[in-house]
Amino acid sequence: MKKIEAIIKPFKLEEVKEALADLGIEGMTVSEVKGFGRQKGHTEIYRGSEYTVDFLPKIKIEVVVADSTLDGALSAIVKSAKTGKIGDGKVFVSPVDEAIRIRTDETGDKAI
Amino acid sequence: MKKTTLIKSGIAALAMAASGLFIPTPVFAQEAAAVVAESATVVVETPATPQEEPSPVEKYWDGKTGDLAMFTVNNLWICIAAALVFLMHLGFSCVETGLTQSKNTTNILFKNVFIVCMGLLAYAAYGFNSMYPGDNWTLSGFFAMGSPIAAGFTEADAQVANLTSEYNAGYTYWGDFIFQAMFAATAATIISGAVAERIKLGPFMIASTIIVAFAYPITGSWEWGGGWLSENFIDFAGSSLVHAFGGYAALAAVIVLGPRLGKYLPGGKIKPILGHSMPLATIGVFLLFVGWFGFNGGSVLSADAPLVSLVFVTTALAGAAGGVAAAFTSWALLKKPDLSMSLNGMLAGLVGITAGADSIAPWPAVLVGAISGVLVVFSVLFFDKIKIDDPVGAISVHGICGNWGTIAVGIFGGGTFMTQLIGTVSISVFAFVFSLITFLVVKAIFGLRVSAEEEEGGLDIGEHGQEAYPDFVPNK
């Protein structure tokens, strides 16, 4: 099992969610985050003084998938989240040691 | 004029007015006499004796018709009502903020701030005299060129008359102006909700200025200014002249502007774009309700006890009926009771009674409000179906229910059905066409929409460089 963490632009959430659903991946955790990469921030003015805002609103999607569906899920996410413009985000993959479905006590691939 | 003398005569005037309002004065007089008799050794200061110098209004009151105390009370009520109508801008700001996304909040608030300020100034500079030309029509009954309000009045008889009941039994020139000015600003702000979240700020400011400065006085003059509708058409506080006017101007704007991105998906699916603060939306509606007591109550144009109190009753009952009716209608149609629809329903009921608050009896007022409440729910759903994107329901609340409220006077009040229909249709059509042309021209010269990228990131950043909620917020 692998955990995919994708940081994407907020308005892309629906598209990414549907792209994953098309592959049969229907569970995920979503959080509203702020962050920056090489995009840097922008300058704002408040009551006459300039300040730089580095952190931009993003959405973080966390989804755990079986090894067999990893590649499909990755390309689905990248394809649906891409705009080609700066700030599109990043995807990270990490291994998962165990997964348990609380309701049924199922473990492993059966739990995701 | 000495300041102390002015204050003392002010208190005297109020005391005169108060003594007229409170009945048990004989009892007080007896008690006061007893006190004076008992404490013979104590020097008791008697109440204010007649002053050496009369106050300004007392100086030129002699010989004018009517009672100064009553005139003062009337004018006071008009001024308080004007302040209550001003409060409605706070209500609009809250409703529009609550029913839209947090990333556009600064922009919406800015538009509301601009409109009330610009509306008041435009009405002072041009609108008031365009709407109330007296005999100075440019095109008799239809249009009068505007001009600035008076710069002040000298103590010459002809001018000072503006400050007495010779101008009007209910208010001075200034009271008249400020009350009407608040109405003008209210009509303008209806548009800002419907075009929220995707309109460019500059073009909006230009278009709304043109509409409130020039179009609003025209339709206003048709009825309240003594124009072609004033003979038989009834619109007590402006269901058509303010609300339908604003609603149809908003409709034209939304047609030219287009819907928010992603709102209407292929296959007839409608994506709900959730408002970010139901508390703010609710607070806004309650504030509007309070303001409506001034909006309708002040439209009596005097403090006449029977009429003002009746208007308070019909206004409140219609608003209440609208809220309840919309709540249950949305519950029946949409499976769960919808707060935002119920809020729209309260406003719909209030708009609905605005044309006939003084001529429709309480129970028919309840019916008018209830029908408004049902109507607004269907209307909101209808406009979404035909892809007219109105984030706050302004077109339904003010346009559709404004028409209904005007027609209702022909059914339940003192008007005839056909006259009411002709009146509300002509005002609505004029507002729509004027607004359509204005927004089309503005769009052609300046463009009207923000870019897709800016719309996605939020107008707060794009138009203002200022987020309304700069730190982490609990909800989007």
User: Per-residue DSSP letters for A40-102?
Assistant: --EEEEETTEEEEE--EEEEEEEEEE-GGGHHHHHHHHHHHH--SSTT-EEEEEEE-S--B-T
Q: Does A49 touch chain B (CB under 8 A)?
A: no
pLDDT band at A46 (very low <50, low <70, confident <90, very high): confident
From chain B, pick out residues whose CB is under 8 angstroms from the CB of A86.
none
Smallest CA–CA distance, residue B456 to chain A, in Å, is: 7
A44/B476 CB distance under 8 A: no
Residue with tokens 């959080």: A31
**Mean pLDDT in chain B?**
88
Give yes or no: residues B205 and B316 share one domain.
yes
What is the residue range of B410's domain?
A: 70-464
A44/B472 CB distance under 8 A: no
Give yes or no: residues B136 and B256 share one domain.
yes
In a domain, B401, yes or no: yes
In a domain, B23, yes or no: yes
Give yes or no: residues B11 and B129 share one domain.
no
From chain B, pick out residues whose CB is under 8 angstroms from the CB of A44.
461, 465-467
- Write down all domains in chain A, each with its CATH number in brackets: 2-111 (3.30.70.120)
pLDDT tens digits, one per residue of B5-61: 445 444 544 555 444 444 444 444 444 444 444 445 555 555 555 556 766 667 667
In a domain, B472, yes or no: no
Give yes or no: residues B45 and B130 share one domain.
no
In a domain, B258, yes or no: yes
Size of interface A-B (CB pairs under 8 A): 19
In a domain, B469, yes or no: no
Give yes or no: residues B283 and B370 share one domain.
yes
Range name among B47-61, B250-264, B408-422, B428-442 with the lowest pLDDT average: B47-61
Containing B173, the helix (H) or strand (E) segment is: helix B173-194
In a domain, B9, yes or no: yes
In a domain, B471, yes or no: no
Dihedral sign, Cα of residue B407, residue B411, residue B416, residue B418: positive
Determine the number of helices (DSSP H) and then strands (DSSP E) in chain B.
Answer: 20, 2
Give yes or no: residues B45 and B111 share one domain.
no
Number of domains making up chain B: 2
CA distance B107 to B461: 9
B27, B59, B91 — which closes off a domain? B59
Taking CA–CA distances from B271, the nearest residue in chain A reads A14
From chain B, pick out residues whose CB is under 8 angstroms from the CB of A30.
none
Q: Average the pLDDT over B337-346 and give the result.
A: 94
pLDDT tens digits, one per residue of B348-365: 999 999 999 999 999 999
Interface of B with A (CB under 8 A): 262, 453, 456, 461, 465-467, 470, 472, 476
Give yes or no: residues B93 and B17 share one domain.
no
In a domain, B476, yes or no: no
Taking CA–CA distances from A46, the nearest residue in chain B reads B466
CATH number of domain containing B228: 1.10.3430.10
